[in-house]
Amino acid sequence: MARKRKGEPVPEHGNRPFSGLSGLIKQAGMGRKTDAIPQPESPSAPQPRSSRAPQPAQPPEPPPDDTRLFEDAMQEVHRISWRHTPAAATPPAAHTVPEDPLLEDERLFREAVGGAAAPPILDHPEYIEGWIGVAGRRFLPRLRSGTYSIQGMIDLHGLSRVEAREAVEQFIVRMSRERSCCVKIVHGRGINSPSDQAVLKEHLQRWLATRRMSRHVVAYASAPYTDGGVGAIYVLLRRSQE
């Protein structure tokens, strides 16, 4: 700071050189515009409140009860009297009956010929028949067609030749002692045989023609397709005199 020399004149304003500056600024129109500057709001100033009161929440609708559900479901249902024609009933489903294993040959044959009716059993190459005496031949037509009811049956599957002959003879004697009747003997076709031949079937014809069996046997013939076909025979018996 410069030091005042002795003898220099003192300025008009003394030590305040800028004291007259504010007057000059006012004269020039350069005053501060303090009114145009917006003043920030005080954080503690209270906010205006809305005049509308809040609406209370609506409670949810209760679920419909059983009565209402039933009424809604029955709106388009109309009462009808007994005078109206009843609706047609749905036919029952066809009941499938398991096929008899003895009828497998017939089924395969029908498929081979395109579903046509099977030919008479007499035309089958494995058909057999026979009779004892002249009178026995008269019963063959009804025996072939299966007219006689079957009172007894024996199955020879799984038996040896000796066991099968003994079983057949005992069966025929026992059945003929009771009454005149028709029986069925299932002998098979030898499909599971090692030689693929119906061994029991060939021997069965000889057994039925022996002197002992001829006293009981009237006639025999292969069963119809519906009851075993050429895998079984019907035997017509007379009542034994013993």
HEC string of the chain equals CCCCCCCCCCCCCCCCCCCCHHHHHHHCCCCCCCCCCCCCCCCCCCCCCCCCCCCCCCCCCCCCCHHHHHHHHCCCCCCCCCCCCCCCCCCCCCCCCCCCHHHHHHHHHHHHCCCCCCCCHHHCCCCCEEECCCHHHHHHHHHHCCCCCEEEEEECCCCCHHHHHHHHHHHHHHHHHHCCEEEEEECCCCCCCCCCCCHHHHHHHHHHCCHHHHCCEEEEEECCHHHCHHHEEEEEECCCCC
Per-residue confidence (pLDDT) for residue 180, from 0 to 100: 74
Per-residue confidence (pLDDT) for residue 5, from 0 to 100: 54
Side-chain half-sphere exposure of 185, counting CA atoms within 13 A: 30
Per-residue confidence (pLDDT) for residue 123, from 0 to 100: 73
Average confidence (pLDDT) per 10 residues, the chain, 242 residues: 53 58 65 53 56 70 80 80 64 58 66 56 80 86 88 90 93 86 88 69 89 91 87 89 64
Per-residue confidence (pLDDT) for residue 124, from 0 to 100: 78
Please check whether residue 182 is in contact with residue 143, taking contact to mean a CB–CB distance below 8 angstroms: yes
Per-residue confidence (pLDDT) for residue 189, from 0 to 100: 81
Query: Is residue 47 in a domain?
Result: no
Query: Is residue 6 in a domain?
Result: no
d(CA 134, CA 136): 5
Per-residue confidence (pLDDT) for residue 162, from 0 to 100: 93
Query: Is residue 35 in a domain?
Result: no
Query: Is residue 205 in a domain?
Result: yes
Crossing angle for the helix pair 161-178 and 199-208, to the nearest 10 degrees: 40
User: What CATH number is attached to the domain comprising 224?
Assistant: 3.30.1370.110
Query: Is residue 201 in a domain?
Result: yes
Q: Which domain holds residue 159?
A: 102-237
Query: Is residue 60 in a domain?
Result: no
Per-residue confidence (pLDDT) for residue 155, from 0 to 100: 93
Give the count of domains, the chain: 1
Query: Is residue 84 in a domain?
Result: no
Query: Is residue 2 in a domain?
Result: no
